[in-house]
Amino acid sequence: MILGNLVGWLGVACGLLVAPPQLIKILKSRRIDGISTLTYVALNFTLVFYLLHAIYIRSPVFITAQSVNLVVNGTILILLLRRKYGVQ
């Protein structure tokens, strides 16, 4: 069980390296060219369902991972929608 938890937390750490660079790039450049809004809508729906499942199975590793991913990717989605539809 300890090895399983260690591998899970390692996965969380690796997963956290994926979305933040995109968020940082959007914030610095203030540009969203080439970023698919539909992809981020689908990703956020997926993350919500993964989070609900993680809560259901009471898995701290996956609850943490999905919560953090939802915050980061949700922020990206909000920025995409705001810039796409001109909401400041």
CATH of the domain at 43: 1.20.1280.290
CA distance 79 to 41: 12
Closest CA to 76 of 24, 9, 12: 24
Tell me, what's the pLDDT at 67? 94
The pLDDT tens digits along the chain (88 residues) read 677 778 878 877 787 788 888 888 888 888 888 888 899 999 999 999 999 999 999 988 889 989 999 999 999 999 899 888 877 6
The domain containing residue 32 runs over which residues?
A: 2-84
pTM (two decimals): 0.79
Tell me, what's the pLDDT at 11? 79
For the chain, give me the number of helices (H) and strands (E)? 4, 0
Domain count, the chain: 1
